Structure 1
C-alpha cells in the first residue's frame, strides 16, 4: 500500500506516506490497495458514462454509484475489504451496461463508436489475489519514476479534492437533491485523470475547476438541508446527559438521524448527536423532536473514549470512523458508505435492531446538571442581522473577523487553534466551522453589542454558509472578500477539506493560513506555486500569526 491522502500520513520515511501493512488511520494494506483499484474502476465507468452523456443516455444509477464509491475511499470511512471487492464487481457491471447503451445509441445515429483505453478497458480479476496484483499498477504514486513527484502530487490534489466533492454530492443526493451538471463535472474530472495528465498548468486548472464545481455542490447540499429541515436557527444545545435509554449518532447524514428519530418516537429512548452531527440541533424540523436530547462528547478523534463511555448503542452514518475498541465493538452499527469488518451494517433506514439494543442497554442512570453551547449561526441567521454587524464594523466596535475552522485531529499542533481563538482581542468576532470548534466552543467569548463573539456556523458540510456570509459582507462594504477585515485560519485533515480549499482558491480568496501540517502530497515546488499564486501560508505561532493578521488588515 501507499497512501498520503490525510493528515495522519506517516512522515518518518524519505517520502511521506503510509506504506506498511497498516496505515495510521487503521486501514490495512489490502483495503488500501482495493480502494486504489476502485478509483481506477470508477474512472473507467466515468469514461463510458461521459460518452453516453453525449448521446443522451447517461446512466443515473452509474452517476450515483460514482459518488458513493468515491466516498467510501475517503479517510476513516470504510475499512471493510469485502465491501470493496463487491463494489469492484459492481463497477465493472455498470460500466459494461453503460458501454452497451452508448454503443447502441452511437450506432443508431451513425456516429463512430469510441473505445476509450486505460481504465475503461479494465476487467476485474477473478479472485482477491488477482485484484491485489492489479492494484499494484494503479496506486496514487504510479508512474512517479517517469513524471516525478510534482506531477504525482498535483494528480493527488485533484483526485483527493474530487473525493471531497463526491462526498458532499452524495450527502445532497441522499436528501433528494441531484444535479446533471455536478454528475457531468465529476465524471469529466475522472476522465481527465484517466488520461494520466502530466502538464502542471492543466492539473492546476483542473484543481480550480473542481473548486468551482464544489461551490455548486455545497450550494446543492445547503439547499438539500434547508428545504428538508428548515434554515438553521441559533439554538442552545445541551451537552450533559439526561436519565434514560439512549442512542448516539455520529457522522453527517441527517436523513439517517431523522429516520431514527421517527422510529424512536414514543419509546422513551433519547437520541444524542456526536461530532459532525452537532448542527442537527439547529434545524427546526429536527430539533422539533423532543427526544433529540443533546450532544455527547467531542470531535471525531475523541470517539474511542466517547463511545466507550456512552451507555447505549452507536450509529455511525459517514466519516469519520476509528477502529472500534472492545468496550463498544458489539454495540456500534454502521450505515451508508461506512464499514468495518465484523460490525453490523444497517440498510434502508431500518433501525429496529438499534432500537432493540438501546432497550437492552442501561442508558444514563442519572441526569447531569444542564450545560449548553449555542450553535446555529448559519447564513440565514447571520445575514438576518447583517445590518447590526455592518453598523458595528462601521462604528469600530468590531475590528476584525476570524474564521477559525476545518477538520480536527489528534496530531500535535492543533492546540494552535485553541490559542488563536482565545487570544483573539475582545473587539473581534470568531466564526467557526467544522470539528475544529470542539477545541474552544465551551470557552466564554462574550458579545459585542449583543452580537456573540463566537459564531458557530456549522460543520464542513456548511462551508457554503461561510462563503455566502463573506460575500454578503464584501457586497455591503463594496469591496472584495480579500479586502475585508477577515482572516481565514484553516485546519485540514482529509479530502472534504481539500475540496473546500480548492473552492476558496477558485474564488480568488488569498492568504489562507493552513495547518497544522501541510498535506504530504504538496511537494516544495507545488507549495511554491500555491504561495505565489494564492498566498497560502503555513501556520506558525498563534500569537505571531494573530498579530500579523491584525497588522495586515490595519495596513
Structure 2
C-alpha cells in the first residue's frame, strides 16, 4: 500500500501498511485500479467527442467515480467492483461507436485496452497499476506535479458532480478532466508545462465552484445571516451529516409533518442560511456536534437515526450501525446505501421509520447558537458598511481562516490564531475547519460581527467573490487588500481550492497544519518563490507578520 493524497498520512510521508483514515490496503489498491481504468477510458472519451459521439454519461461517470476515490468517501470494495464493470462497459461501448464512424482500425494504447481479471485479486492488479505509475517517476518534481494535478482533479470532479446533481454543468470541465487524465500517461511534458496544467485545474475548479454556487442559490436562494441553535429539543430526531444540501432537502421534504426534528452535522451547518429551506421546513432546527472527525462520538450520543450524505464516510460502529443510512457514492456493504445514479430521488422511508421507532430526545438542552449565512451576496449587500469601517480605521485587517479539519493535535493552531486576532480585525471562515472556533464570541465592529461563516468548502467561491468585490470597491488588486489567508487542508477538495487561489495569483497564503507529502521540496520552493506560499509557524509569529 502507498497513499499520500491527504494531510493525515503516516509520519507526514505516506501510508504504507494501513490508511490513517481507516482505508485498508485492499481498498486502496482497488481505488488505484479504478483510477487506472478511468485513465484508460479518458482517451476513448476524447476520440468519441471528436467524432460527435455523445459522451455525457461517461463524463458524469468519471466525475462520480473520481469523487468516490477521495479521502473518506468510499471504502466499499464491492462498490468499486461495480464502478470497474461500468467503466469497461462505457469504454467498450464508445469504442464500438467510434469504430462504426471511422475508416480503418483504431489503435488504442495499452491503458485503454486494459481488462481487469475479475476472477483474480483486484487488489493485486491495483498494486501493479500503481507500481507502473510510480515507475514512470524518473523526475521527482514532475511526478510531484502529476500527483498534485491528479489530486486536484479529484477535488474538481467532486465539485463538478455536486453541481451536476443540482442541474448545473459545463462541458468544458468534462473535456478538461478527460484530457488531464490522458496527460497523466505522458512523459514528454516539462516541469513548466505541468505547472500550467496544475493552474488550469485551479481555473476549472473556480468554474465548478461557480456552478455549484449557482445550483445552490437557484434552488434554495442566496444565504442570509442566520442564527443556528446548537442545542436539542424534545422529539424524534434525524441527524444529517456530509456536504450534500440537495439530499438534505430530500430528507426535509420526506419528513415534513411527521413529527421529526432534523438536525445537521459538520459541513451542513451552512444549510441553515438558505432562505427557501428555512421557510419551507420549520422542522430543520439546529446543528448537533462538530466536524467530520468527531462523527463517532457525536453519532454515538445521538438518540435518533442518522443519514450520511456524500463525502462524509463513517465506519461501522456498534453504537449506531443499526440506525445509520448513507447516500451518494459512499457506503458499506452492511449499511443501507441509497444511490444518486440517474438523478433518482432516494426513498428515505427506512430512515424515517427508524427515527419514529427510536425514542429521540426526551428533554431540551440549554440554548446556544452560532451565526452562518455570510456568503458573497450577504456580505456584498453590506459592502458600504465594511468599506466605511475600513476607511474609518474601525477594521484594520481581514483574516480568512478556514479549510479542512482533522484530528492531528497541530490543528489547535487555528483555534489559538482566531482567539488572538485583535479586536479591530474581522475573521471570515468556511468549511469544516471553522469547527475549531465557530462558537467563539468575538463580538462586533459596529453592526458587523467579527466572525463571519461564509459556508462550506465549496463556498471558497464566495470568499473569492468577497475578496474580488472589496478589491474592486477600493480600486486595488486583491493582493493589496488588508487580507490574509490562513488555510488548513486535509483532502483533495482543498488541493483543488488551493490551485484555484494560485490560478488567481493570490499571494502570501499560509498553509497548514503540515505541507502536502506529495509536493517535493523543489516544487514547494517554486510555489513559494512565485506566490510566497508558506507553511504556518506559530499564531503569534504569523499574526505579527500579517499585521506588519
Task: Give the structure-2-normalised TM-score.
Answer: 0.96
Describe the SS at the equivalent of 1:236.
strand
1:7 maps to which residue? 7
What's the offset of the Cα at 1:196?
Answer: 4.8
1:75 maps to which residue? 71
> Matches of 2:185 and 2:306 in 1, distance apart?
39
Describe the SS at the equivalent of 2:454.
strand
Q: 1:197 to 1:314 in 2, by over 3 A?
A: farther
What's the offset of the Cα at 1:223?
Answer: 0.3
1:357 maps to which residue? 354
2:94 maps to which residue? 98
Describe the SS at the equivalent of 2:365.
coil
1:290 maps onto 2:287 in alignment? no
2:342 maps to which residue? none
Out of 226, 241, 253, the position equivalent to 2:217 is 226
8 Å Cα contact 2:136/2:187 also seen in 1: no
> Matches of 2:294 and 2:131 in 1, distance apart?
29
* 1:134-173 matched pairs, under 5 angstroms: 134-139=125-130, 142-144=133-135, 146-173=137-164
8 Å Cα contact 2:527/2:533 also seen in 1: yes
1:252 maps onto 2:243 in alignment? yes
* 1:1-400 matched pairs, under 5 angstroms: 1-11=1-11, 16-20=13-17, 22-107=18-103, 114-129=106-121, 131-139=122-130, 142-144=133-135, 146-196=137-187, 199-288=190-279, 289-347=281-339, 348-400=345-397
What's the offset of the Cα at 1:474?
Answer: 0.8
Q: Which string of whole-angstrom CA distances, capped at 9 and with x for unpartnered residues, describes residues 384-440 of structure 1?
A: 011111111111111100000100000121111111111111111000011111111
Q: 1:481 to 1:146 in 2, by over 3 A?
A: closer
8 Å Cα contact 1:2/1:140 also seen in 2: no
Describe the SS at the equivalent of 1:364.
coil
> Matches of 2:112 and 2:181 in 1, distance apart?
11
What's the offset of the Cα at 1:525?
Answer: 1.4
8 Å Cα contact 2:29/2:124 also seen in 1: no
> Matches of 1:224 and 1:346 in 2, distance apart?
22
What's the offset of the Cα at 1:303?
Answer: 0.6
8 Å Cα contact 1:161/1:502 also seen in 2: yes
Describe the SS at the equivalent of 2:223.
coil
1:414 maps onto 2:411 in alignment? yes
Describe the SS at the equivalent of 2:290.
coil
Q: Which string of whole-angstrom CA distances, capped at 9 and with x for unpartnered residues, describes residues 106-157 of structure 1?
A: 34xxxx764331421111213241x233212322883347514323221110
Describe the SS at the equivalent of 1:500.
helix
What's the offset of the Cα at 1:453?
Answer: 0.6
> Matches of 1:118 and 1:453 in 2, distance apart?
57
8 Å Cα contact 1:172/1:178 also seen in 2: yes
* 1:345-494 matched pairs, under 5 angstroms: 345-347=337-339, 348-494=345-491
What's the offset of the Cα at 1:18?
Answer: 0.8
What's the offset of the Cα at 1:526?
Answer: 1.5
8 Å Cα contact 1:445/1:454 also seen in 2: yes
8 Å Cα contact 1:140/1:152 also seen in 2: no
Describe the SS at the equivalent of 2:409.
coil
8 Å Cα contact 2:227/2:371 also seen in 1: yes
1:515 maps to which residue? 512
Structure 2 unaligned runs (5+)?
340-344
What's the offset of the Cα at 1:57?
Answer: 1.1
- Of the structure 1 ranges 467-476 and 363-372, higher mean CA displacement relative to structure 2 is found in 363-372
8 Å Cα contact 1:89/1:124 also seen in 2: no
Q: 1:28 to 1:105 in 2, by over 3 A?
A: same
8 Å Cα contact 1:402/1:429 also seen in 2: yes
Q: 1:381 to 1:197 in 2, by over 3 A?
A: farther
What's the offset of the Cα at 1:199?
Answer: 2.6
> Matches of 2:477 and 2:131 in 1, distance apart?
37
What's the offset of the Cα at 1:284?
Answer: 1.1
What's the offset of the Cα at 1:533?
Answer: 1.4
Describe the SS at the equivalent of 1:133.
helix
- Of the structure 1 ranges 505-514 and 53-62, higher mean CA displacement relative to structure 2 is found in 53-62
> Matches of 1:321 and 1:6 in 2, distance apart?
15
> Matches of 1:401 and 1:146 in 2, distance apart?
41
Count of paired positions: 542
Describe the SS at the equivalent of 2:10.
coil
Describe the SS at the equivalent of 2:361.
coil
Describe the SS at the equivalent of 2:53.
coil
> Matches of 2:132 and 2:407 in 1, distance apart?
26
Q: 1:379 to 1:359 in 2, by over 3 A?
A: same
8 Å Cα contact 2:137/2:143 also seen in 1: no
Q: Which 4+ runs in 1 deviate beyond 4 A?
A: none
8 Å Cα contact 1:44/1:194 also seen in 2: no
Q: Root-mean-square deviation (CA), in Å?
A: 1.5
Task: Give the structure-1-normalised TM-score.
Answer: 0.95
